């Protein structure tokens, strides 16, 4: 089994601000689209966890941007919040049989489809994104300005089917309930691939029959936070990273979002077995990894979307970590 830490949701380029954490809830905002051929869904149409995204964005005094342009439509991918659209919606997005979906294309799809190191049915995506807490200031909802936010795991999808949409035979076989998805609608994407979730999670040796094969983690829990949020440790390891590369130390005290704290088992003694994109046996990659007696620390690469980890090289506790993440505040039960 492999897990894929997959970066999804608003970022500084696509969206322009963090997805919010408020009243203890995590709400991942899908990135905007500038292509009405792949989507006619707007933020006003979506209500994950009972929160209307259009109203939320307005309340925060923000505008969703595709690069630098204000965008009207939504690239609803991955689509994991079943209740975000009513069953009778005009997009055909919740027809009978619906399950979670995720699509990808171009270079990211190439990484996932690599014949030696790519993914297969049964592997699990753990989706993470950029989040920050919302506070009330003078009667208004605003982002907490203590820091710029953090990377947080917010959803999962275990692969049931992989459909290569550029292959006409595979494209013609997709279930009717998938045909609203932007990766199905946009026929111009290269390496266009659609992942369909399992109905129920399946992991050898674990009782997962009550857990969906896809879903969103509803409530904020530090267990699912990737960023090292201790300011002193964040600064220490980031400056170690800078020093290892012959660079100047950071002059400011800001939390570096891409400096992660991970379970110690992530620090495999063979660097080539570590997390994808961070597993080349060279000085630059080694400069990104650290550990103490409890945790591994990683200066994660940016940009980068799909980071694959092959669990056959890791202890059994890695699977338990996945379950703990999924159950850390999820809608899985």
pLDDT at residue 87, rounded to an integer = 94
Whether residues 231 and 216 fall in one domain: no
Whether residues 169 and 262 fall in one domain: no
Write out the residue range of the structural domain in which residue 63 sits: 2-220
Chain-centre distance of CA 111, in angstroms? 16
* Mean residue pLDDT across the chain: 95
Tens digits of residue pLDDT in 27-78: 999 999 987 778 899 999 999 999 999 999 999 999 999 988 899 899 999 9
Q: Percentage of the chain surpassing pLDDT 70?
A: 99
Q: Is residue 317 part of a domain?
A: no
Whether residues 34 and 167 fall in one domain: yes
Whether residues 185 and 272 fall in one domain: no
Whether residues 130 and 91 fall in one domain: yes
Question: What are the DSSP calls for 96-152, one per residue?
Answer: TT---EEEE-HHHHHHHH-TTT---TT-EEEEEEEEEEEEEETTEEEE-TTSS-EEE
Judge whether residue 93 has pLDDT over 90. yes
Whether residues 199 and 242 fall in one domain: no
Judge whether residue 149 has pLDDT over 80. yes
Whether residues 150 and 18 fall in one domain: yes
Whether residues 243 and 148 fall in one domain: no
SS3 325: helix
Q: Percentage of the chain surpassing pLDDT 90?
A: 91
Whether residues 198 and 234 fall in one domain: no
Q: How far is CA 254 from CA 76, 148, 225, 234, 259, in A?
A: 31, 7, 17, 9, 11
pLDDT at residue 75, rounded to an integer = 96
pLDDT at residue 252, rounded to an integer = 86
Whether residues 154 and 261 fall in one domain: no
Helices (H), 177-303: 182-185, 231-244, 283-286
Cβ proximity of 27 and 56 under 8 Å = yes
Whether residues 203 and 249 fall in one domain: no
Q: Is residue 320 part of a domain?
A: no
pLDDT band at 330 (very low <50, low <70, confident <90, very high): low
Q: Is residue 313 part of a domain?
A: no
pLDDT band at 113 (very low <50, low <70, confident <90, very high): very high
Query: Taking the CA of residue 305 as centre, how many other CA atoms within 13 Å lie in the half-sphere pointing to its CB?
Result: 15
Q: Is residue 161 part of a domain?
A: yes
Tens digits of residue pLDDT in 288-329: 999 999 999 999 998 889 999 999 999 999 999 999 999 997
User: Which of 125, 145, 124 has its CA nearest to residue 133?
Assistant: 145
Judge whether residue 333 has pLDDT over 80. no
- Residues 314 and 58: their CA atoms lie apart, in Å, by 45
Tens digits of residue pLDDT in 210-269: 999 999 999 999 999 999 999 999 999 999 999 999 999 998 889 999 999 999 999 999
pLDDT at residue 332, rounded to an integer = 44
Whether residues 40 and 13 fall in one domain: yes
The total domain count for the chain is: 2
């Amino acid at each position: 089994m492999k897990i894929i830490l997959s970066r999804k949701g608003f970022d500084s380029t696509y969206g322009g601000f963090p997805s919010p954490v408020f009243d203890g809830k995590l709400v991942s905002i899908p990135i905007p689209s500038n292509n009405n051929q792949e989507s006619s869904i707007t933020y006003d149409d979506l209500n994950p966890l009972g929160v209307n995204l259009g109203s939320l964005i307005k309340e925060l005094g923000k505008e969703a941007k595709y690069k630098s342009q204000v965008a009207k439509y939504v690239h609803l991918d991955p689509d994991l919040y079943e209740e975000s659209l009513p069953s009778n919606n005009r997009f055909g997005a919740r027809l009978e049989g619906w399950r979670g979906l995720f699509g990808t294309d171009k270079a990211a799809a190439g990484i996932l489809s690599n014949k030696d190191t790519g993914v297969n049915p049964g592997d699990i995506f753990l989706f993470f994104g950029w989040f920050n807490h919302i506070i009330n200031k003078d009667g208004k909802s605003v982002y907490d300005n203590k820091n710029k936010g953090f990377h947080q795991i917010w959803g999962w999808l275990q692969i049931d089917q992989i459909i290569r949409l550029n292959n006409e035979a595979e494209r013609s076989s997709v279930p009717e309930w998938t045909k609203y998805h932007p990766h199905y609608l946009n026929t111009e994407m290269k390496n266009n691939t659609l992942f369909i979730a399992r109905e129920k999670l399946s992991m050898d040796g674990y009782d997962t029959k009550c857990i969906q094969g896809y879903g969103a983690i509803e409530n904020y829990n530090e267990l699912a936070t990737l960023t090292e949020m201790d300011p002193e440790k964040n600064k220490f390891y980031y400056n170690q990273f800078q020093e290892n590369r012959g660079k100047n130390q950071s002059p400011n005290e800001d939390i570096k979002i891409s400096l992660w704290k991970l379970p110690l088992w992530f620090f495999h003694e063979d660097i080539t077995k570590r997390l994808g994109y961070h597993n080349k046996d060279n000085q630059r990659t080694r400069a990104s990894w650290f550990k103490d007696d409890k945790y591994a620390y990683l200066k994660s690469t940016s940009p980068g979307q799909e980071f694959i980890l092959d669990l056959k090289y890791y202890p059994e506790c890695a699977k338990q970590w996945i379950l703990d993440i999924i159950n850390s505040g999820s809608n899985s039960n």
